[in-house]
Amino acid sequence: MARIIDAHVHVGFRGKLAGQTGREIIEKMDRAGVAQAVVFPYTEGTFSNTPVMEYAKEAPDRLIPFCSINPWNRKDAYDELERCLEEGYKGIKLHPSGSGYRLSDLNLLGPAFELLRQYRCPAIVHGAGDLLNSPTQFAYVCKHFPDVDFIMAHSGYFWLVDEAIDVARENENLYLEVSRIPLFEINQIIASVPADHIIWGTDAPFVEYTEECMKMSKANCSAADYDLIMGGNIARILGL
């Protein structure tokens, strides 16, 4: 069995509403049998990437650091992204609908995607079917940056799972991530998209962690495909 890797975890704190330290997520991972996790800051409002790397350095064999930017900050955002990629962050997390920009706005995001292409790093992007990060927005950036791997968090759920499946089948550099999606839609995705383009994550701390892990044990997939979804695909993308 391949090692299990959670591709979607927030660390740090978002005011008083949500938060967890690196040690706290590792404790959850241990209880659920998760080997590693991709971790990044909360991406709405004001945030810092620094705590993410601090947590990752405390447990480099467990936590994989991703950064985030607010592209409205323009040059400062691009400089921050380049600094992070130079420092060893393995990718970026973006939340267009949370920060008020279109994923397809290449005047705003093009320089960031170009940096990802240069550093061979992926982008995981909120993709819960909202207008600013709908499946058609992903299709647009995938075609303009075919050398960048894009991961659609939440796979278009609630209302755009069918469109997300179509876009994933048409774009080799697009992966569907299934955090917080009910089992019915997960099985729909598994039946329609090659297993090597599906990625598991939790969106912790916004879930009951062990339950989100156990959900996938009920999915309609072979043992080999389960291993790809639960860790093999994100490991391949990140070169782990």
Q: Which pLDDT tens digit goes with each residue over 70-91?
A: 999 878 999 999 999 999 999 9
The predicted structure's pLDDT at residue 23: 96
Q: Cα separation of 104 and 55, whole Å? A: 32
Which residue type does 94 have?
L
Determine what percent of the chain is predicted with pLDDT higher than 90: 92
HSE-CB at 174 with a 13 A cutoff on CA atoms is 29
Mean pLDDT of 38-51: 91
Phi and psi of 10, rounded to 5°?
A: -95, 135
Q: Which pLDDT tens digit goes with each residue over 153-208?
A: 999 998 999 999 999 999 999 999 999 999 999 999 999 999 999 999 999 999 99
| Banded pLDDT at 1 (limits 50, 70, 90) | low
| Banded pLDDT at 18 (limits 50, 70, 90) | confident
Claim: this prediction has a pTM higher than 0.95:
yes
The predicted structure's pLDDT at residue 207: 95
Query: Contact at 8 Å (CB) between 152 and 174?
Result: yes
Radius of gyration of the chain (CA): 16
> Whose CA is closest to 132, among 100, 154, 165?
100
